[in-house]
Structure 1
Amino acid sequence: MSCTFEVDRNNLQSCFRSVVCDAAHVSTPVDKAAIDALSSGLPNEKGKGLSTAHFPLAVSDALSLELKMLSEQALCRVTAELMAEATAADTPIMSYTQNGTSVPCMRRLLDMGLWLSNNAVTDPGVVYTLLEQVFEGSTLSECKDVFSWVEEHTEVLNKEVLMKRGKLIMLRTSNELLRRLSKANDTAFCGRILMMLASFLPLSERSALNLASKTNTANVTKCEKDYEEDEAMEG
């Protein structure tokens, strides 16, 4: 990784953090806040003069791979920072605020990540990467709050362009979360996760198919032969 890339990434990271955490930007709509961060943080003319009229980006106007990598890494690093700060402050991640802001920082960051993914600024799967990062670093109690955000944005998250790149990440994240939950004590939460997966993935989804035709050979069913005795008695 070049020094220039690191400098550009850190600059964009600072801009993302500013529009997420500073009280002066929290009241700004997510789309405008994201564009402001891009305009200030992108290292070349691609970010200059952007407005809501440019989005979603056409294929010919799409950011280069390097700039998409900048955006993704900057978002992931801000996510890690906020999680560490919320833990240090002993505050649930989805309730953590800074500088007297009224909107939790992580909620606004996820909103921004979803907007950027949905408008072709970053890879469509970036919002799922952020969610996986948050779920992995959260307690089970915090995971319920994060999952509530997922349920609130199901309609957008379920768009084909996003789900095509993010369904495996979401499936992996959900399965890992189910493994952490108690089947006896967290039945309601497990049900919410399964219902969400059912709405995201079609019945023909390959992950639900036994493509290798594997069977449980250890399961032997023993059949009782009482019918032979019955026939002998009848005879």
Structure 2
Amino acid sequence: MTSYDKEIDRLQGLVLDALRQHTLPEAVAQQLVHASFPDAVVSVSPPAFKPLPAAQQEQLTNALHAAAAQLLADAKAAGQQVMQYKLEPGREQAAVAELLDAVLWLAPQTPSPLDIGLPAQLLEQITEGASVQECEGVFVYLDSRTATFKSPAFAEMRCKNTLLRTCNMLLKRLSKSANAMLCGRILLFLAKLLPLTERSGVNLGGSFNTDNATPVEDVQETFFSNPQVALQPGKWGEVSRDIKRVLDKFRLEKVTVGESAAVASLRDATFRRHFLLQCLVLMQWCERPRQKDKAGLRAKLLEDMQELRARVYASLESTPDKGPQFAAAIRHLMQARPRLCCLGGQLGGLEAKARALQHRCSGRPEPPAGQSQLT
């Protein structure tokens, strides 16, 4: 074993000792730094540190990664899930959560002995080492720290890119059918974490999902999945007719006995908003198609579109809860980001942001970590 490896082992032992002796993140972090490199501690109260030389920072970083790997191995040996394994019975949090919280507290200190990107890197490592069954527990922790990762201290894109990579890794490992709720929660987390213009959330190539064939009564789903069809001769009349037909159904106050589930769902606010957003995106694309596609609608048809768009916004405003506020926010997004909203005729990042907005417009607090946000 080299002297470097011995130093990493020494620091790893100090990490685990600090975790065993303390539960508060700041106490764990302060003891770790003081025991590892006493000169890095400027003041205990209030806590103040100074940056470590590059070599020492690398050693401490590697020791923290080694400690995380050790906790993963210990959890497996104990037959427990990684986010349930505790160093001692009766402790409030899992050992991995205590380690992450200590690093989350220490990394944004100004100055700090750690790199600001380390918390996200440790989360990525833990996600890679966790089984599929353990993934939900890891994500519940991540979701519960959303406010921390959205704070200015973690504003650097390399932090967010690591979290994006971690979430994409989770999505690839999870089953879209068996883990549908968890996949949805991960997408909502990314919608809250990343800006609307994040490249990973938009259809940069403007591609259409022409294989999408969702059978819906009286609605031409073809136009939503492939907006180019709406620009073909005589097709806009079908689009306008079908949208108006649905808008007329939205005005119904009662659902009569014997109606199909598809018709009854028209009274559902989430379904309405989803459909109306699709209509707005479709119309905006037809109004401003990509250069390689055909020209937009002729003047007479554009007049019909403006009238139809006004009806769609009116329907959005009448959809509870807080319909006027929701409609105003969507109008702002459509006007401020016209190209983003038109890419591929798909909602992309707009839909995820709109869902988060819809939840806020409901007047209810966001569900706590571990509960679905898709209900």
Give 2:74's match in structure 1, choosing from 57, 82, 85: 85
> Which residue does 1:46 correspond to in 2?
40
Secondary structure, aligned partner of 2:175: coil
Give the gaps of 5 or more residues in structure 2.
212-225, 235-375
Alpha-carbon RMSD across the aligned residues, in angstroms, is: 2.8
Contact 1:93 1:142 in 2 (8 A): yes
Q: Please, which of 95, 99, 102 is the counterpart of residue 105 of structure 1?
A: 95
3-state SS, counterpart of residue 128 of structure 1: helix
Which structure would you say has the larger Rg?
Answer: 2
Matching residue of 2:189 = 196
Code of the residue aligned with 1:208 in structure 2: it is G
User: Alignment length, in residue pairs?
Assistant: 213
- % of aligned pairs identical? 28
Query: Residue in 1 aligned with 2:167?
Result: 174
Q: What is residue 22 of structure 2 aligned with on the other side?
A: 26
TM-score norm. by structure 2 comes to 0.51
Say whether 1:159 aligns with 2:151: yes
Aligned pairs (5 A) from 1:1-235: 3-20=2-19, 22=20, 25-27=21-23, 29-42=24-37, 45-47=39-41, 50-55=43-48, 57=49, 61-100=50-89, 102=91, 103-119=93-109, 120-164=112-156, 165-209=158-202, 213=205, 215=207
Check the 8 A contact 1:26/1:101 in 2, yes or no.
Answer: no
Q: Is the 8 A contact 1:16 1:75 kept in 2?
A: yes
What code does the residue aligned with 1:15 have? L
Runs (4+) off by over 6 Å: none
1:52 CA drift (Å): 4.5
Distance 1:76 1:143 in 2: 19
Per-residue deviation, 1:208: 2.9
Please report how far the alpha carbon of residue 186 of structure 1 lies from its aligned counterpart in structure 2 after TM superposition: 1.4
Q: Per-residue displacement from partner, 1:112-149 (whole Å, max 9, x unpaired)?
A: 12112222331111111111111111122311111111
The 1:193/1:83 distance shift into structure 2, 3 A limit, reads same
Q: Which runs of 5+ in 1 are unaligned?
A: 228-235
Note if contact 2:40-2:113 (Cα within 8 Å) is conserved in structure 1. no
Q: Quick check: 2:107–2:115 contact (8 Å CA) kept in 1?
A: yes
Q: Find the aligned partners of 1:163 and 1:144 in 2 and give their Cα distance.
A: 25
Q: Determine helix, strand or coil for the equivalent of 1:62.
A: coil
Closer/same/farther in 2, CA of residues 30 and 134 from structure 1, 3 Å limit: same
CA, structure 1 residues 68+226, in 2 after alignment: closer, same or farther (shift >3 Å)? closer
**Cα distance, 1:45–1:214 mapped onto 2, change above 3 Å:** same
Structure 1 SS opposite 2:12:
helix
Partner residue in 2 for 1:231: none
- Give the structure-1-normalised TM-score: 0.79
Q: Contact conserved, 1:8 with 1:41, CA < 8 A, in 2?
A: no
Query: Contact between 1:118 and 1:162, CA under 8 Å: does it hold in 2?
Result: yes
Q: Tell me how far 1:37 sits from its aligned partner.
A: 1.2
Q: Distance in 1 between matches of 2:123 and 2:164?
A: 12
